[in-house]
Structure 1
Amino acid sequence: MSTSRTTTIDHKAFFIGGSWRPADGTDHFDVISPRSERRLGRVPAASEAGIDAALAAARRAFDEGEWPRPTPAQRAHHLTRLADGIERRRAELAEPINDAVRIANDSELGLDGSVFTADTARGFEVARRVRTGTFSVNTFAADLGWPFGGFKKSGLGREHDPGAVEEFLLTKTASTDPGAGLPAEVTQGVPLGTGPGTRGPVK
């Protein structure tokens, strides 16, 4: 199962006042997604003249454009439509991932899985949803220093886990008359039973 999106948008100009304006300089910098830390594109560095032009265009749009004219209720309507459109687009992008997770979870087996994606955060979201004992993001490697085991027909229990050590231990229970006291050298550092017929920890 894999999902990947590698398209980036590289600009060499600024969109100011409804049209593209060539950058004054030659310096550029990468735009990095704060969510996935993936490179989204590359944009030119703005000069002071470019910043002034953008501010002037924004001021004109606010004073003379369409936005100041609608009533507050109409503005709210426009913003709601925008939010609904963003949510629909988010659902469209999530649909293939949801299908992939459903197909993976429909399997009778669940030992291991992996996903390859340019969006690492989305990869870990898939890892949480797929029912396998181990899951890799952008690799096939499994760290056997951590618990290893499966879901469903891939088995029960875990290896390489502190709990797995208990399979190799023998437990012994020592009992005495509940009404009798115990010397401190016997009880020191020893957990005592707290169930019916016991006196609980010695104070």
Structure 2
Amino acid sequence: LTSFILAEIIDESDLPKGVFNLVNGTGPIVGEAIASHPDVDMVSFTGSTRAGRRVSELAAETIKRVALELGGKSANIILDDADLAKAVKGGVNNSYFNCGQTCSAHTRMLVPKDKHDEACAIAKEVAESFTQGDPFDESNMLGPLISDVQRDRVRGYIQKGIDEGATLITGGAEPPEGLEKGYYVRPTVFGNVSNDMTIAQEEIFGPVLSIIPYEDEEDAIRIANDSVYGLAGGVWSADEDRAKRVAKRMRTGQVDINGGAYNPLAPFGGYKQSGNGREMGKYGLEEFLIVKSLQL
């Protein structure tokens, strides 16, 4: 919808005709045509890693430049000196933003082993405070997912977590009470999650949080980096310098320190299978530029 609004604004401006075009259609038809067309010099794509891989394949035929912002399975490291209640609350809020349908959601919460149970109790209380229902009702905090296919997919992941032995702290695969119709999923928290479980490795894209215990700081960094993704992440600590040191060792494109606010001027993008290229700020603009030199 925002794309249509932008198109209407541009149509009312004095921008020359043809500079901006909004083309509607599905990926296999319109998207593939754009990615493979020889007159298109550059493609910037946001979506799943699978779709991004396809865009790269098609773009390779004409050696066009590609910027990809893809999936994520971001780790939120809560260090042993952090304010646990504040950090867990912030982590739950982050992972449930837009019903968990954000590529940068901090869906893996890493906590010290001796604070795991306390973290689960806090997360349970926070998760159960999220009201669900009509998104046009401002009293509701979580609306439906994008489609019935995605709803069923997320519920399938929740059941997979139960089957693989994670502890269901709250939520579950059943429809939320009173919301049997619609694309709703219970806000779910798992505890005692091992990082090799499916729910810790694959992007779910729904309100599902995995709490993973770690032994020490080195173990936390190892777990955080044990992913094919590397889009975002977080570190919580009473010592900001310590948090920065840990953040620098995380193989991910963006790290929030103690719940730091989003900065639209900072570059955003991923490592590994979370994509290449950057959005936002100076680096984001440079993705759409190509250098030329004149030898005199």
TM-score (norm 1): 0.39
Larger Rg: 1
Q: Greater relative contact order (Cα 8 A, min sep 6): structure 1 or 2?
A: 2
TM-score for the superposition, normalised by structure 2: 0.27
